[in-house]
Amino acid sequence: MTSKFLRLFLAVAALFTISALAQTGTTAIPSAPAPAASAPAAAAPPPNMGTKVGAINIEGAIFNSNEGRRDMDALGKKFEPKQTELKNQNEELEGLKKQLSTTQDKLNEDALATLKKQIETKQKSFDRAVQDAQEEFGQQQQEVASRILTKLAPIIVKYASEHDFGIVLDTSKPWPQSPVLMAGQALDITAQVVDIYNTQSGVPAPTTAAKPAAPHPSATRPATTAPKPTTPSTTPK
């Protein structure tokens, strides 16, 4: 899954999750006698919201939390064998392409056709393996993000309520991919929310230097030195 798709998923998930929590976060009121049938139902009062405007990078909060960093590091380690496998496939493919480049003038027609067919077959296999790895990694990355967001959303709602925020904007995507043109640092509550989440989760900060969030199988994609099928250019993160 691409980073763009992940951000879209998180934006939609955050919208529904946080909106639901905000609507159900008010104190329950005992039921009143049912009104007469002819009287229209009264609209439910809006929740007691503040007037301040805040901003939060949902994606950053998820993956910069101790839990997010721990789980993405584990996911990266899980995919290291696949990364090695793709690297080996790429090296084999590049070797064949180099062989074609240096010997095509010396090979007879049948040998040249056989070598080109071998390169084409291995290229298709490699491209398919890259795409499969991207999709598998993206799905598991999404699962990590969804699980953490479920626990993060109530913290955002509670923090906003306690600090008089009437609206909190998600700045995970830059403009024009999102309607937020800019948000000053003074409005950003990402660090505060992450600190609270880290405390509540009990997950300690990683003790080693941060690793890349994801292996990038497509980074091993060889340079285009021979015709090959079009493949997605995205990389899992």
pLDDT in tens, 162-187: 999 999 999 998 888 888 888 888 89
Structure tokens at 115: 């070598």
User: Is 193 inside any structural domain?
Assistant: yes
Q: What are phi and psi of 217, to 5 degrees?
A: -55, -40
* Residue of 208 and 30 predicted with greater confidence: 208
User: Is 103 inside any structural domain?
Assistant: yes
User: Is 128 inside any structural domain?
Assistant: yes
Query: Using one digit for the tens of pLDDT, what is the confidence trace for 182-216?
Result: 888 889 999 999 999 999 999 999 886 544 444 44
User: Is 43 inside any structural domain?
Assistant: no
DSSP line for 76-90 = HHHTHHHHHHHHHHH
Cα gap 137→194, rounded to integer Å: 24
What local confidence, expressed as pLDDT, does residue 50 receive? 79
Cα gap 48→73, rounded to integer Å: 40
Query: Using one digit for the tens of pLDDT, what is the confidence trace for 91-112?
Result: 999 999 999 999 988 999 999 9
Supply angle C-alpha 97, 123, 220, rounded to 5.
Answer: 85
* Whole-number average pLDDT of the chain: 78
What local confidence, expressed as pLDDT, does residue 65 receive? 97
User: Is 39 inside any structural domain?
Assistant: no
Structure tokens at 156: 């955002």
pTM: 0.66
Residues spanned by the domain of 185:
3-13+50-213
User: Is 37 inside any structural domain?
Assistant: no
197: nearest Cα among 145, 144, 148, 141: 148
Percentage of the chain beyond pLDDT 90 is 57
CA distances from 215 to 66, 68, 106, 139, 151 (A): 19, 16, 40, 14, 26
Cα gap 13→18, rounded to integer Å: 8
Domain total in the chain:
1
User: Is 45 inside any structural domain?
Assistant: no
User: The domain that contains 64 carries what CATH number?
Assistant: 3.30.910.20
User: Is 191 inside any structural domain?
Assistant: yes
Percentage of the chain beyond pLDDT 70 is 67
Structure tokens at 175: 């403009």
